[in-house]
């Protein structure tokens, strides 16, 4: 990116680089303070300081959309990320060297989409539940090991789990940890069992508040549907296909079945 060609574009609202373009920063880069959209996906950062590059980005206070997908030189976002108070979409998928999200990311109150696909993150920072407008959190790896630094998702309402290649779910997927969960979608996986029974924690009993389910292409899943209904008293709707080992399910054909409460 050569800023000389953009010196007369001080009111530029969107800047999108072609894939594999070489990024060049100089003192004129500050002219782009009006940017709302910035797409550096798959850009080369070989000849610049990644730290300086990120500091510049975090000075763009009007930025609403930031795509850094495939920029492998990024290891960590700086604390100045908190300055992007208008940011709504943050795309970091393919940042394979990204190992930590700065906790200040939880101050981005307007964030709607956070894409972390194919990143090297071991955990998500605490406080993500404070992002009231966050609708899509995608791409992070599911871990079965508890991490004291990791966030808790008590406010999560929808959960999509795809291509999960383990036989059981992580222990943190339970009605106490996901107390606000209303919709659960599990697709194309190797699950054999899902624990649906109420959970006792201290002197409290937690039951699922799930209202909608989607089970697709889970050929090894063995669940008794009648027990599931009892364990999920609020369940009203389900989509099921490719689940050949469900017991007592109202319909047994291989096609997509839409189930509704009291229609069986």
Comparing 213 with 177, the larger pLDDT belongs to: 213
> Residue length, the chain?
264
User: Can you give the pLDDT at residue 161?
Assistant: 87
Under the banding of pLDDT at 50, 70 and 90, the label for residue 212 is very high
Q: Quick count: other Cβ atoms within 10 Å of Cβ 19?
A: 11
Q: Per mean pLDDT, which of 40-44, 111-115, 134-138, 161-165 is the most reliable? A: 111-115
Q: What is the pLDDT of residue 138?
A: 80
Average pLDDT over residues 162-170: 87
Residue 51 pLDDT: 85
Q: How confident is the model at residue 183, as a pLDDT?
A: 94
- Token couple for 60: 């763009």
Domain boundaries, the chain: 1-152, 153-264
Choose between 98 and 31: higher pLDDT.
Answer: 98
In this prediction, residue 147 has a pLDDT band, given cuts at 50, 70 and 90, of low
Question: Does 71 score more than 90 pLDDT?
Answer: no
Rounded-to-integer distance, Cα 219 and Cα 18, Å? 42
pLDDT given at position 209: 96
Check whether 200 has a pLDDT greater than 90: no
pLDDT at 36 over 90: yes
- Dmax of the chain from CA atoms? 69
CATH number for the domain whose boundaries are 1-152:
3.80.10.10
Mean pLDDT for the chain?
A: 84
Least confident of 101-105, 128-132, 202-206: 128-132
CA distance 171 to 143: 9
The whole-number pLDDT of residue 65 equals 97
pLDDT above 70 as % of the chain: 83
Which pTM was predicted? 0.69
The number of C-alpha atoms within 13 Å of 194 and in the hemisphere containing its C-beta is 29
Question: Per-residue pLDDT for 144 more than 80?
Answer: no
With a cut of 70, say whether residue 231 has pLDDT above it: yes
Asked if 89 and 64 count as a contact pair (C-beta separation under 8 A), the reply is yes
When comparing pLDDT for 71 and 2, which is higher?
Answer: 71
CB half-sphere exposure, 217, CA atoms < 13 A: 8
Average pLDDT for 104-120: 90
Given this model, what pLDDT does residue 142 score?
61
Taking the C-alpha atoms of residue 76 and residue 148, their distance in angstroms, rounded to an integer, is 19
In the chain, what percentage of residues exceed pLDDT 90? 40
Q: What is the DSSP string of the chain?
A: --GGGGTT-TT--EEEPPTTPBP---GGGGGGTT-SEEE-TT-B-TTS-HHHHHHHHTT-TT--EEE-TT-TT--B--GGGGG-TT--EEE-TT-TT--B--GGGGG-TT--EEE-TT---S--BTTGGG-TT--EEE-PPP-SS--TTB---TT--EEEEES--SSS--TT-STTTTTT--EEEEES--------S-EEETTEEE-----EEEEES-TT---BHHHHHHH-TT--EEEEES-TT-BS-S---SS-EEEETT--
């Amino acid at each position: 990116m050569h800023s000389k060609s953009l010196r007369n574009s001080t009111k530029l609202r969107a800047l999108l680089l072609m894939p594999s373009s070489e990024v060049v920063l100089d003192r004129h880069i500050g002219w782009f303070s009006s940017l709302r959209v910035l797409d550096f996906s798959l850009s080369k950062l070989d000849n610049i300081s990644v730290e300086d590059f990120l500091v510049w980005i975090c000075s763009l206070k009007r930025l609403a959309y930031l795509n850094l997908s495939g920029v492998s030189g990024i290891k960590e976002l700086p604390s100045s990320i908190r300055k992007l108070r208008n940011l709504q979409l943050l795309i970091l998928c393919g940042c394979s060297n990204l190992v930590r999200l700065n906790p200040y990311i939880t101050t981005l109150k307007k964030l709607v989409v956070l894409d972390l696909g194919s990143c090297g993150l071991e955990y998500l920072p605490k406080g993500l539940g404070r992002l009231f407008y966050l609708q899509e959190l995608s791409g992070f790896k599911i871990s079965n090991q508890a991490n004291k630094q990791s966030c808790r998702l008590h406010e999560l309402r929808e959960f999509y789990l795809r291509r999960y290649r383990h036989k059981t779910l992580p222990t943190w997927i339970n009605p106490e940890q996901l107390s606000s969960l209303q919709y659960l979608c599990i697709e194309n996986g190797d699950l054999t069992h899902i624990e649906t029974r109420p959970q006792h924690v201290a002197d409290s009993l937690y039951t699922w508040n799930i209202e909608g389910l989607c089970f697709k292409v889970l050929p090894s899943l063995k669940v008794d549907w009648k027990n599931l209904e009892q364990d999920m008293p609020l369940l009203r709707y389900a989509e099921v296909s490719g689940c050949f080992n469900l017991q007592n399910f109202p319909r047994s054909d291989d096609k997509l079945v839409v189930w509704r409460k009291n229609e069986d």
